[in-house]
Amino acid sequence: MTKAFVFDAYGTLFDVQSVADATEAAFPGHGDIITQIWRMKQLEYSWLRSLMGAYEDFWAVTRQSLAYTLGVLGLEASPALIDEIAETYNSLTPYPEAEAALAALSAYPRAILSNGSPAMLDALVGRSPLAPHIGAILSVDAAGAFKPDPRAYALVEARLGVKPADVVFVSANGFDIAGAKRFGFRVARIARVPAAAVRAEIGKAAQAGLLPPATFYKALRTQLEGLGFAPDFEVASLSELARLPGIAPAAH
């Protein structure tokens, strides 16, 4: 029985690609590659810090991964500029359907479980139209480990009092889907980038002899992981969640 919906934030409710205007403005001609490497390295640093037992919060990880990205590209930036660009993660654009989709699930408690630090998430949600539809914001900071570490997912039952089997966990990130399913949640994947579309992009890029950074990102970060932990549901957008089997209609 579904008793709660828990959402990933970055890449699921909020578009991480919306930092592109800031990266391009700071380094004209480099915005796309900065955006893609930054996000990939941001996630890698979260995994590395969890594995090494060297936790620092997501704001630190976000700054460190941006500094890495600029360094590997040979671009110079002061600490103040790094902070300025990193701040864009606190005002990401929600996906267009996110507010209506959350409203359509008003019959259920709705929460966020995110790698973001408490300050980042408070800013991100508070600056968005999604705030009235989110009952709880859970940061992995309380566990001292990033997703997909089971300690992060355990925060849901500890804070919401809902057993994993009664939670529909919603994510568009392959690593998060695998981790949440392994933990015991029922998982809904938001499949915004179909596998066929990625293959078509790669094929077109191969013919042109150049793989755009955004295509490389899609291939690595928007697809299901091949680890044997498949989602229970797969939908193309957040709007379809209210039509999942067994989901009650919104109260009016």
Q: Which residues are tagged catalytic?
A: 8
How is residue 230 written in tokens? 């498949």
Give 145-211 as a 3 state SS string: CCCCCHHHHHHHHHHHCCCHHHEEEEECCHHHHHHHHHHCCEEEEECCCCHHHHHHHHHHHHHHCCC
- Cis-peptide into 148, omega within 30 deg: yes
Between the CA of residue 94 and those of 52, 87, 120, 133, what are the distances in Å?
32, 16, 15, 13
Q: Which of 180, 173, 233 is closest to 15 using CA atoms?
A: 173
Could you tell me whether strands 14-15 and 93-94 are parallel, antiparallel, or unpaired per DSSP bridges? antiparallel
How is residue 55 written in tokens? 């936790």
Count of C-beta atoms within a 10 Å radius of residue 97: 15
**Could you give the CA distance from residue 47 to residue 173 in angstroms, rounded to a whole number?**
14
The strand ranges marked E within the chain are 4-7, 14-15, 93-94, 110-114, 136-139, 167-171, 186-190, 233-235
CA atoms within 13 A on the CB side of 78: 3
